[in-house]
Chains A and B, each alone.
Chain A
Amino acid sequence: MASAPPNAVLETPRRGVGGAVYDSTADVGAVVIRWFETLGDMTLFMWRTIAWLATRMPRRDTIIPAFYNIGVLSLPVVALTGTFIGMVLAVQSYTQFKQFGFETRLGALINLSMCRELGPVLAATMLAGRVGSAIAAEVGTMRVTEQIDALTSMGANPIHYLVVPRFLGCLLMIPSLTIMAIFMGIVGGWLYSVQVFGIDSYHYWHNSQQFVHNWDLFYGIFKSVFFGATIAIVSCYRGFNCAPGAEGVGRAATAAFVLSFVIILMLDFFLSIGLDRVHNMIWPELG
Chain B
Amino acid sequence: MAASAIKAKATKSVEPAETLIELCDLTVNFGRQAVLQNVSISIPRGQTLAIIGESGCGKTVLLKHIIGLLFPSSGHVEFDGQRIDSLNEKELTALRGRFGFLFQNAALFDSMTVADNIAFPLKEARNMGSQKISQVVSERLKQVGLPNTVLGKRPAQLSGGMRKRVGLARALVMSPEVLLYDEPTTGLDPIMSDVINELIMRTRDQNAVTSIVVTHDMKTAQKVADRVVMLYPLTRLKASESQIIFDGTPEEVMACKDKRVSQFVRGEAGERLLEMEQATG
Binding site for B on A (CB under 8 A): 1-4, 59, 141-142, 145-147, 149-150, 152-157
Please, how many angstroms separate the alpha-carbon atoms of A2 and B280 in the complex?
9
Chain B residues within 8 Å of A155, by CB: 93-94, 96-97, 121, 124-125
- Cross-chain contact B121 with A146 (CB below 8 angstroms): no
> B103 contacts which of A2, A3, A150, A156 (Cβ < 8 Å)?
A150
- Cross-chain contact A154 with B277 (CB below 8 angstroms): no
User: With contacts A145-B107, A154-B121 known, what are 8 further pairs, Cβ within 8 A?
Assistant: A3-B281, A149-B69, A150-B103, A150-B107, A152-B96, A154-B170, A155-B97, A155-B124
- Cross-chain contact A153 with B93 (CB below 8 angstroms): no
What is the chain B residue whose CB lies nearest that of A4?
Answer: B281
Binding site for A on B (CB under 8 A): 64, 67, 69, 89, 93-94, 96-97, 99, 101, 103-105, 107-110, 120-121, 123-125, 170, 174, 277, 280-281
Chain A residues within 8 Å of B121, by CB: 154-155
Please, how many angstroms separate the alpha-carbon atoms of A2 and B105 in the complex?
38
Minimum CB–CB distance for B105 against chain A, Å: 6
Minimum CB–CB distance for A50 against chain B, Å: 16
- Cross-chain contact B64 with A154 (CB below 8 angstroms): no
- Cross-chain contact B67 with A153 (CB below 8 angstroms): yes
> B105 contacts which of A4, A146, A152 (Cβ < 8 Å)?
A146
Chain A residues within 8 Å of B97, by CB: 155
> A153 contacts which of B69, B109, B125 (Cβ < 8 Å)?
B69
Minimum CB–CB distance for B94 against chain A, Å: 8
Chain A residues within 8 Å of B93, by CB: 155, 157
What is the chain A residue whose CB lies nearest that of B281?
Answer: A2
Please, how many angstroms separate the alpha-carbon atoms of A3 and B277 in the complex?
11
- Cross-chain contact A149 with B107 (CB below 8 angstroms): yes
Minimum CB–CB distance for A3 against chain B, Å: 8
- Cross-chain contact A147 with B96 (CB below 8 angstroms): no
Please, how many angstroms separate the alpha-carbon atoms of A155 and B97 in the complex?
6
Q: Return 20 A-B CB contacts under 8 Å, by A number.
A: A1-B280, A2-B281, A3-B281, A59-B123, A146-B103, A146-B104, A147-B109, A149-B64, A150-B101, A152-B69, A152-B96, A153-B67, A153-B69, A154-B101, A154-B120, A154-B170, A155-B124, A155-B125, A156-B120, A157-B93
What is the chain B residue whose CB lies nearest that of A138?
Answer: B111
Please, how many angstroms separate the alpha-carbon atoms of A145 and B89 in the complex?
23
Chain A residues within 8 Å of B170, by CB: 154
- With most chain A CB atoms within 10 A of its CB, the pick from B107, B120, B123 is B107
Chain B residues within 8 Å of A4, by CB: 281
Chain B residues within 8 Å of A146, by CB: 103-105, 107
Please, how many angstroms separate the alpha-carbon atoms of A46 and B105 in the complex?
30
Given contacts A145-B107, A146-B107, A147-B107, contact A153 B101 (CB under 8 A): yes
- Cross-chain contact A154 with B69 (CB below 8 angstroms): no
Please, how many angstroms separate the alpha-carbon atoms of A2 and B276 in the complex?
12
Please, how many angstroms separate the alpha-carbon atoms of A83 and B174 in the complex?
53
Minimum CB–CB distance for B38 against chain A, Å: 25
List the 6 closest pairs (A to B, CB-CB), nearest first. A150-B107, A146-B107, A154-B121, A153-B101, A156-B124, A155-B93
What is the chain A residue whose CB lies nearest that of B109?
Answer: A147
Please, how many angstroms separate the alpha-carbon atoms of A149 and B102 in the complex?
11
Chain B residues within 8 Å of A153, by CB: 67, 69, 96, 99, 101
Please, how many angstroms separate the alpha-carbon atoms of A152 and B99 in the complex?
11
What is the chain A residue whose CB lies nearest that of B280?
Answer: A1
Minimum CB–CB distance for A60 against chain B, Å: 11
Chain B residues within 8 Å of A147, by CB: 107-110
Please, how many angstroms separate the alpha-carbon atoms of A149 and B103 in the complex?
9
Please, how many angstroms separate the alpha-carbon atoms of A265 and B236 in the complex?
52
Chain B residues within 8 Å of A142, by CB: 109
Chain A residues within 8 Å of B69, by CB: 149, 152-153
